[in-house]
Amino acid sequence: MRLKRFKTWCTRLAVTALAVGTVVAQPVPVAAATFMPGDVFIGTTGGHIQHRDSSGTLIETLNTTLGNEFDTGMCFDNTGSLYATDIYSEAISKFDVNGTLLAAKWVNTSGDANNPESCVWDALNANAYVGGPSVAQIRAYNLAGVENSRHTVPSAGGTGGTDWVDLASDQCTIFYDNESSTIRRFNYCTNTSLADFATLGGGCFALRIRPVSFEVMVACSDGAHRLSSTGAVLQNYPLGFLFALNLDSDGKSFWTAGPGGSTVYKVDIASGATVQTISTGAPVWGLTVFGELTAANPCTVDKPITATGTSITTTEGQSFAGSVATFTDPDTTAQAVDYTASIKWGDGTANSNGAITGANGSFNVDGTHTYAEEGSYPVTVTIADTDCSTNSATASTKASVKDAGLTSTCATTGVSPQMYNGPTATVTDANPGSHPEDFPPTAGSISIDWGDGTTTSGTISGPNPYTVSGSHTYSSTGPFTVSTTVTDAGGSTTSVSCSVLIFAFATSSGATFVIGDLTATPFNHVTWWSSQWAALNPMSGGPAPASMKGFAGFEDFPAVPTCNGSYTTDTGNATPPPQTVPTYMGVIVSSKITQNGSVITGNIVAIVIVKNDPGYAPSPGHTGTGTIVAIIPCP
C-alpha cells in the first residue's frame, strides 16, 4: 500500500510538471564517455539517465535497460562507478566510470519489501547504505551487491519508509527522511535511534550533508533549505516545490529540481542566486554530480592518484636531499598543497614528511634523511589527498647507501727503540656517526706492514677520528717504512705509509755513550768514545773530568736512560763498553758531569740518535764517532 500511495503521489506530481512542456524522447548513446568532475547526472524516466558536462551540455544518455517510470537517487563509489536506484524495478543499476552498464540489477530486491530510492557509500566503500519508501529499514550492501546488514528505524508519517539517506562523517550516523517534514538520525554502527535532527514546514526529500561545516542541504515542498549542524535553519532557497538535490564538486553550490519538472537549477549556496539552469526535455526525478563533496566521503569520485618510487643513492652519515617519488593525479587542476606525503626510510627511524612540488597533475616528492650505516633500505612513500584520505597511493623504492670513505694520516713516533709499541696511523671516517664496531677484528681488516718483511694485525680505538696502534720488535736499526691499511665493515679502505727511525742503545741493559750538550745539534758529527772525550765534548755546565771517556756504564743501577734523570759510571774504561755498537744508536746528552773519587755522575738533558761511523773498538784509542740524525729533547 505504501508503494501504491507513493506511485499515485509521484504520478500526480508528474502530471502537474508535464503540463508545462512536452517530454522529449531520450537518445541512447552509441559510445561511453568517461565521467569527469562536475559532470551532472539527471535521472528521468524509462531507465534513462542524462550525462551532461558542467556546462549542461548533453554528453550521452545512460540506459539501465529496466524501463522504469522513476529514476531517482544515485551515488558513486571511490572508483567513480555510478549506482542508480530504480523504485519500481526494485533494483540498483551499476555503470563504470566510462558509462558502461556493468549490471542492470547490481542489487535486486524483488520479492523483498524494499524499493531502493536513494543510496550513499561510506568512505572505504565497505557499505552502500540504501533507503526506500516501502519499509522502515536502512540496508547496507558491499561492492559485490551482497547485503551486509539491515536495520529497522523509526519512520512515522510520510511514506513510512527511509526514502532519502545520507551518511555523516563519523561513518555511522545516517540522516534520513520519509518525505514528511522530519529529518531523522540513526546510528547504524550501534543500531541506535538518535534524536530527530530537524522538523521543517513541508515534506522533505533529497538531502546532503556538507563536509567540514556538516551543514545539511535538503529539498522540500516549500523550496530548499540550509540547516546548521544542529538543525537550525540558516538559509532558505524559495525555488518552489523541489524533490532532487545534490552538492556540486566545487563545494560552493548545489543542484536541484522539482519532481517531474524539466528544469535543473544550479544554486550558489552563499548568495542563493541561481547561477545556471539546464532544460532536460524530460521529467526529472533524481540527480547527482560526479565529484560532489559530502561529509561521508569528500572524495567519492576522486580519480585515484598513482605513484612511482625514485631510486635513492646516498652515503652513510651524509644528509640525503632529493626526490623519493613522483605521482600523478588525473585531476589536472589539483595543486601541490592538496596532498601530503609521508616517507618511511626503512632504517627504523621515525617517518618524515615529504615536500611536494609540481602542478597540472604531475608532482614530485622530495625528502631529507641521513642513514647511519651503509646498506640497502626499503623506502615507502605514502601520498594522500588532503581532502580525501582514502585517495592515496604508495610508492616503494630502495635506498642504496654507500659506505663513507676513510682517510688516514701518519701517527708513528718518528723514532723508536727496537721494540715499537704505539700508534701507527690516524684514521678518519667520513661518517660522523661511525663507531669502533665498524672495524671488526677480522683477519686483515687492520694490518701493519712494519717494513722489515713482517706484517701484523693492529688495533683501533676511538672515537672518530680513530687511532691505529701496534707493536713489533725489530731485529736491526735504521729507517723503516711502516704501512697501515684499514678496511671497515662496509668495505672502505685506506692506507698510509710512514717513516720511523729504529735505534738501540749500546747495550741491552740501556748502558750507552754520552756527548756534551754543546755538540748536540742536528747533523753534527760527534765523538762519543775517545781518550780525548772531555776535550771534544764541551758542556754548558762546565768541562767534564778528564777521566770521562764517554761511556755511561750504569754500573750501580742498570736501567734505560730517562729524560731529566742521571747516570753514574767509572773512570776511564773501568766499566767495559760493548764490543760492538748498533748502526743507529741512542746516545745520552749531558750538560754537566762531575767526579767524586772513582765515580762519575752526569745528568740527562736529551737523547740523540747517532748514525755511527765504522772503526769503533772498546779501547778509548779506537774513537767512536757518528752523525746526529735525530734529537729527542727532554721537556
pLDDT band at 29 (very low <50, low <70, confident <90, very high): very low
Average pLDDT over residues 190-200: 97
* pLDDT higher than 70, residue 381: yes
With a cut of 50, say whether residue 531 has pLDDT above it: yes
Q: Mean pLDDT over residues 277-304, rounded?
A: 84
Comparing CA positions, the residue from 306, 352, 298, 308 lying closest to residue 329 is: 306
Alpha-carbon distances of 261 from 206, 278, 355, 363, 591, rounded to whole Å = 15, 11, 50, 45, 123
Could you report the per-residue pLDDT of 50-61, keeping only the tens digit for each?
A: 999 999 999 999
First to last CA, the chain: 116
Determine the Cα–Cα distance for residues 439 and 464; give it in Å rounded to an integer.
Answer: 12
Cell numbers 559530502 correspond to what residue?
294
Q: 42 vs 70, 72, 288, 309, CA distance in Å?
A: 11, 9, 7, 41
| Look-up of cell digits 524522447 | 25
Query: What's the whole-number mean pLDDT along residues 607-632?
Result: 95
Whether the predicted pLDDT of 558 surpasses 80: no
Question: How would you class 82 by CB atoms within 10 Å of its CB: exposed for 0-12, middle for 13-18, buried for 19 or more?
Answer: buried
What percent of the chain lies above the pLDDT cut of 90?
76
The pLDDT-based confidence of 444 (bands split at 50, 70, 90) is low
Q: How far apart are CA 164 and CA 183, in angstroms?
A: 10
Residue 17 clears pLDDT 60, i.e. is over it: no
Q: What are the Cα distances from residue 351, in Å, to 310, 320, 343, 372, 383?
A: 17, 15, 5, 15, 13
What is the structure's pLDDT at 397?
A: 97
- Per-residue pLDDT at 571: 79
* Three-class SS state of 195: coil
Question: Residue 23: how many CB atoms within 10 A of its CB?
Answer: 17
> Which residues fall within 8 angstroms of residue 69, CB to CB, at 6 or more apart?
7, 10, 45, 46, 87, 88
Calculate mean pLDDT across residues 281-297: 90
Q: What average pLDDT score do residues 310-319 get? A: 95
Angle at 215 between CA 207 and CA 257, to 5 degrees: 35
Whole-number Cα distances in Å, 393 to 57, 78, 347, 383: 33, 14, 21, 5
pLDDT at 509: 83
pLDDT tens digits, one per residue of 166-183: 999 999 999 999 999 999
- pLDDT at residue 1, rounded to an integer: 32
Query: At a CB cut-off of 8 Å and minimum separation 6, what does 548 contact?
Result: 514, 533, 534, 569, 571, 593, 595, 600, 602
Kindly indicate the confidence band of residue 422, based on its pLDDT and cuts at 50, 70 and 90: very high
Q: In 3-state terms, the chain is what percent helix, strand and coil (to 5)?
A: 5, 45, 50
What pTM was computed for the model? 0.56
* Residue-wise DSSP of 241-300: S--EEEE-TTSSEEEEE-TT-SEEEEEETTT--EEEEEE-SS---EEEETT---SS-TTT
List residues bridging with 589 in a β-sheet: 515, 606
- The reported pLDDT for the residue numbered 8 is 40
| Rounded Cα distance, 295 and 175, in Å | 11
Instruction: Report pLDDT for 241.
Output: 97
In one letter, which amino acid is 546? A
pLDDT band at 69 (very low <50, low <70, confident <90, very high): confident
Cis peptide before 538 (omega within 30 of 0): no
User: Could you tell me the domains of the chain?
Assistant: 2-22+111-289 (2.130.10.10), 306-402 (2.60.40.10), 406-503 (2.60.40.10), 512-633 (no CATH)
Task: Go through 168-193 and write b for each residue having 16 or more CB atoms within 10 A of its CB, e for each that does not.
Answer: bbebebbbbbbbbbbbbbbebeeeee
- Residue 379 to residue 323: CA distance in whole angstroms: 12
Residue 53 near residue 38 (C-beta atoms within 8 A)? yes
> Cα–Cα distance between 342 and 320 in angstroms, integer?
16
Backbone dihedral region for residue 389 (phi beyond 0: left; psi -120 to 50: alpha; all else: beta) = alpha
Give residue 298's pLDDT band: very low, low, confident or very high (50, 70, 90): low
Is the confidence at residue 296, as pLDDT, over 90? Answer: no
| pLDDT at residue 13 is higher than 90 | no
CA dist 457 and 448 (Å) reads 6
Are 243 and 285 within 8 A, CB to CB? Answer: yes
How high is the pLDDT of residue 390? Answer: 64
**pLDDT over 70 at 228, yes or no:** yes
Chain centre distance of CA 15: 63
Q: Is the pLDDT of residue 404 over 80?
A: yes
Residue 192 pLDDT greater than 50, yes or no: yes
pLDDT for residue 198: 97
Least confident of 102-116, 213-227, 231-245, 274-288: 102-116
Q: At residue 137, what is the residue type? A: Q
Mean pLDDT rounded to a whole number for the chain: 90
Residue with cell 755513550: 513
CA dist 310 to 327, 338, 344, 394, Å? 10, 21, 14, 12
Residue 389 has pLDDT above 80, yes or no: no
C-alpha cell at 400: 642504496
**pLDDT band at residue 30 under the 50/70/90 scheme:** very low
pLDDT higher than threshold 60 for residue 489: yes
Q: What is the pLDDT of residue 215?
A: 96
Neighbours of 121 (CB within 10 A): 24
Omega of the bond leading into 463 within 30 degrees of 0 (cis): yes
Does residue 621 register a pLDDT over 60?
Answer: yes
